[in-house]
Structure 1
Amino acid sequence: MRWLSGFRSGAFRFALLLALVFGAGAALLLVVVERSISRYAVEATDGGLKSEAAILQGEDREGGRSNLLQAIALHRRAGGDEAFRYQLTDRRGRLLVNDIGTSNAKIGWGEVEVLDDPQDADARPEMLKSLGVPMPEGGVLVVATDTYDVQELRRGLGRFTIVAGVFITLFVLVGGYLLGGLFMRRLDRVNDAIGRVMAGNVAERLPTIGISREFDLLSSNLNAMLDRIGALMDGLRQVTTDIAHDLRTPLTRLRQQLEATREANSIDHYTAGIDVAVLQTDQILAIFRALLRIGTLEGGDGRQYFCPVNLSEVIGHVVAAHQPVAEDDGKTLLAEHEPGLVVAGDAELLAQMLTNLIDNAIRHTPAGSLIVSKLERMDDSVIATISDDGPGVPAGERVNVLSRFYRLDRSRHLPGTGLGMSLAAAIAALHHARIDLLDNSPGLRVRITFPKSPPALEHSASPSKNQAD
């Protein structure tokens, strides 16, 4: 039944364990208190006997035996029902006073059993605690008192200890059950939300549990995870849509090419048609590889392999490799790089990103254009900028340029897949870098801002060929 779920919950089991520990601790505390009070009561009884015996010894020493007997009689009357009982013998062992009812007077501590009322046939035996002391005038004085109150106190404390321990344990158990029920109700709301997510409602988010900050932080992290999963699913749907839309044309061309090749009437035409089909297939495979690479990067894969990278060397090698290409196209590629700038990342991916940006600038600018690669430190950040003085990108199109397969109308006649900028954006995002497309008046300026690297990274960076290649 549902009401039993609270007893089966982890919260109640934890409360049960807590109740047992708390009950054991409370019982131990109560036992210590009971022992302390009992010891105090016993010490008070012993102290009273010692004090009474000492007073009567003083009476015997100062006033003699007759004065002692008067003092005993006076103490009897003054004590009432709570009076001490006395037994006094002279130096010859004769009984002078005997309230105890036994003739066995001895020095030291002892216990004597007497009847509560000797005249009553139904009288109960009563245990007296006694103290015998030698008297200055000779003989022995025994002072006794009943310990009934002390025994009753100890028994009462023992019962209270048991009852209080059981009550405290039950109280903690009941409180644990109620808290477990509260926790279960809130956890049920979380599980219901998870069920709706599993059923396909990816927009559902988990409510806060509210028991403690740690549980709320757990809900927040799970919601952040769901947001991330939702973004990845949106990206997957977008990739699927892009593939279906943008690969239709090259696949149609490939099919037409194969059909035309099948109708070829000579070996030369047949071979040429096959070569064209192979080239078109390679282009389609290149698109798939680029899409897979973008998807992998957007998923965050590879960040665990980051290490200090000398970005100055990486961009220097990329620019040096593209300068002859720019010159062949009648363009100028200049480098303005501050040396020794280090970021945390993957040298190969960073080189790929810079290659895409510089190659994009070379292919989409007219002859005579000036392309400038700049690397500098600004406000504790490392900034790489690729700028040109070509036709640029309209302000309304700059966000779209970073999307998969997007190409400006004036660039559709140029070879390419429309994935270079989106791959560069994915690499920048993997490195927690911000990529901005700005107006260069004229032309386009692409700025990548890397986050501040810890000093340990900069000190541990070692310029090496592997980092730059």
Structure 2
Amino acid sequence: MSSVIRKAKSHLLSFRLVAGYFLLFFLSTTTLFGLSVFLLDRYVTDMERQRVMEKVNFYQSLQSDNGFAKLVTELRRQHKTNRLGNVYIHLTDRDGKTIWQTIPEQLDELPSSLFSLPLTIKSGQWKNVDLPIFNDLDIYAYTLPGGQILNIGRTTERQEFLVESMRDMFAIVLLGIVLFGMAGGAFMAHQVLRPVRQLTKTVKKVSSGDMTSRVPIHKPKGEFDELAELVNAMLQRIETLMVAMRDALDNVGHDLRTPLARMKARIEQAVIEDTSPQRQRETLLDCAEEIERIDKLISMLMDIAEAETGQMRLNVESFPVADLLHDIAGLYDLIAEERGIELIVESEEVMLSADRQRMAQAIGNLTDNALKYTPEGGVVTLKASTSSDTIVLTVQDTGPGIPEKERKRIFDKLYRLDKSRSTKGLGLGLSLVRAVIIAHDGKIVVTEAPEGGSIFKVKLPSL
């Protein structure tokens, strides 16, 4: 029973669309038909009354020109014609006594008593007389100059026939409307809700763990296809983040397991062995160093996550790029000198609008990497230039370079080249650099230098 209810609820929107479409179509068609019948009835009635008025004018003119006796004679002469033409005539004197009466042939089956009584109709007015048959009488009353009353009219056969014909035709049309309206409504609801069903199906697959499932896109594109593209982009983003999170957790687990195990072993050794206070102090300092490294790892991961989700808060200001590069060079001069590496700054007079601290952190990480992998006697160059509406910050080294197949992965979190695993580091420097650059609406690319080594180019929008 519950499954039936769930299925009914899942099709409730389809039913509402079909019912709404059908009801709207049915009501509009019924309204149009009723209006058509009303206008047709009015038109035929006006046409028939115009014919009656032509006879009234004729009899009026005849009585005025030739007298009342001539009018009665003419009524007698036209008696047969009027009967066959369904014309009703009732002429009475001023006291209501019948002088002449012509009853349409169609009404012969009715009792004569229905027509023996004078009709009390005001002069110059129309009155519809209801008869116990299919036809009625539409009568116009006119008072002659001598006080006689001429009631003349026609049966409503033509109106009734046309109206009934239209009603019969509408009954057939209505049946077609019901069938085709429901079929058309069901088809339209099915077509309209197809993208919704596909979206629901995709979401169910994703909920069950199939992160590769996507909503189909149809041609030509409609509003639902635009929604499907946004959903697909969101699913792609989620899949990317989940894969990155899984990889990050694997790498974090690998990078945390070793220092934690090392700290545990040292602490256990210090507890078990009867060591001197100096040795215990050294153990605590080693543990503090490992904790600092872990804290730095977690802080960098949080910074990267903030940047990737657009939550990194930037204190944007305008400053000369040359000052930034010289400050970074001053920070790393001593390290470069100790390693026998020449650190050069080449900068144009360019103003940059950015978070100076974050930008210094990013360029500083690139400089630190360059110095780390550049051999003794090498050169690291920090350069700033402009191109169109872009400011380009370049960090170039003369180290061993980065293989082309590895260049796309070096910005992944906790990813390091195999040969650099022995080099001390967290594997988050380049990930943080990319995150900071993206937060500034920029991009970073890495290429191979012609003379060997790597070139990191940071492209940022200019003022």
Larger RCO, structures 1/2 (Cα 8 Å, 6+ apart): 1
The residue number in structure 1 matching 2:328 is 322
Partner of 2:319: 313
Residues 1:111 and 1:323: Cα distance change in structure 2 (over 3 Å) = closer
Q: How does 1:315-394 map to 2 (within 5 A)?
A: 315-316=321-322, 318-328=324-334, 329-330=336-337, 331-342=342-353, 349-365=358-374, 366=376, 369-378=379-388, 380-389=389-398, 392-394=401-403
The equivalent position to 1:35 in structure 2, one of 15, 34, 38, is: 38
State the match for 1:109 in structure 2: 125
Provide the residue aligned with 1:57 in structure 2.
60
In 2, the alpha carbon distance for the partners of 1:139 and 1:6 equals 76
Alpha-carbon distance between aligned partners in 2 of 1:248 and 1:340, rounded to the nearest angstrom: 45
Once the two structures are superposed, the pairs formed by residues 6-17 of structure 1 within 5 Å of their partners are 8-17=11-20
> In structure 1, what residue type is equivalent to 2:123?
I
Counterpart selection for 2:254 from 245, 255, 260: 245
Given that 1:405 and 1:419 are in contact with CA atoms closer than 8 Å, whether structure 2 keeps it comes out as: yes
In structure 1, what is the Cα distance between the partners aligned to 2:87 and 2:379?
122
Deviation per CA, 1:41-61, whole angstroms, max 9, x where unpaired?
322232222121012222333
1: distance between equivalents of 2:416 and 2:24? 70
Say whether residues 1:44 and 2:47 are aligned partners: yes
Q: After alignment, is 160-169 or 368-377 more displaced?
A: 160-169
Alpha-carbon distance, 1:447 to partner: 0.9
Q: Distance in 1 between matches of 2:364 and 2:237?
A: 29
Once the two structures are aligned, what percentage of the paired residues are identical? Answer: 23
- One-letter identity of the residue aligned with 2:16: R
Aligned to 2:106: none
Correspondent of 1:25 among 15, 25, 28: 28
Distance 1:348 1:91, change over 3 A: same
Give the match for residue 269 of structure 1: 279
C-alpha separation between the residues in 2 aligned to 1:138 and 1:176? 66
Unaligned runs of 5+ in 1: 116-122, 459-469
Which amino acid in structure 1 is aligned with residue 242 of structure 2?
M
Question: In the TM superposition, what is the alpha-carbon distance from 1:320 to its structure 2 partner?
Answer: 3.9
Contact 1:6 1:181 in 2 (8 A): no
**Counterpart of 1:119?**
none
CA contact (8 A) 1:109 1:129 kept: no
The residue number in structure 2 matching 1:142 is 151
Report the Cα distance in structure 2 between the residues aligned to 1:136 and 1:370, rounded to whole angstroms. Answer: 126
- For 2:377 and 2:164, how far apart are their aligned partners in 1? 108
Give the 3-state SS of the residue equivalent to 1:130 in structure 2.
Answer: strand
Partner Cα separation in structure 1 for residue 19 and residue 27 of structure 2: 12
Measured against aligned partners, the alpha-carbon deviations of 1:390-446 in whole angstroms (never above 9, x if no partner) come to 554454543443344444577666543232112212333445533211233334321
Contact 1:7/1:177 (<8 A) preserved: no
| Cross-structure match for 2:407 | 398
Letter in 2 for 1:213: G
CA distance in 2 between counterparts of 1:5 and 1:249 reads 57
Amino acid at match of 2:386: E
Counterpart residue type for residue 233 of structure 1: M
Cα 1:134–1:424 shift into 2, 3 Å: same
Q: Does 1:68 align with 2:65?
A: no
User: Displacement, 1:321?
Assistant: 2.7
Given the alignment of the two structures, is residue 449 of structure 1 paired with residue 459 of structure 2, yes or no? yes
Over 3 Å counting, the alpha-carbon distance change for 1:9 and 1:409 in structure 2 is closer
What residue is the counterpart of 2:228 in the other structure? 219
**Alignment match, 1:433:** 442
Aligned residues: 439
Give a deviation string over 1:31-88, Cα, whole Å, max 9, x none: 2222222222322232222121012222333444455345434544444522422234
Inter-CA distance 239–168: structure 2 relative to 1 (3 Å threshold):
same
Distance in 2 of aligned mates of 1:416 and 1:126: 106
Distance 1:431 1:112, change over 3 A: closer
Alpha-carbon separation, structure 2, partners of 1:3 and 1:359? 61
Inter-CA distance 166–413: structure 2 relative to 1 (3 Å threshold): closer
Contact 2:320–2:351, Cα closer than 8 Å, also in 1: no
CA distance in 2, matches of 1:83, 1:77: 10
Deviations 1:256-303 (A, max 9, x none): 5435544363111221221122112211222233234334433x2416
TM-score of the aligned structures, taking structure 1 as reference length: 0.76
Task: Pick one of 192, 195, 210 that aligns with 2:204.
Answer: 195
Please give the alpha-carbon distance, in whole angstroms, between the structure 1 residues aligned to 2:141 and 2:418: 121
CA contact (8 A) 2:319 2:353 kept: no
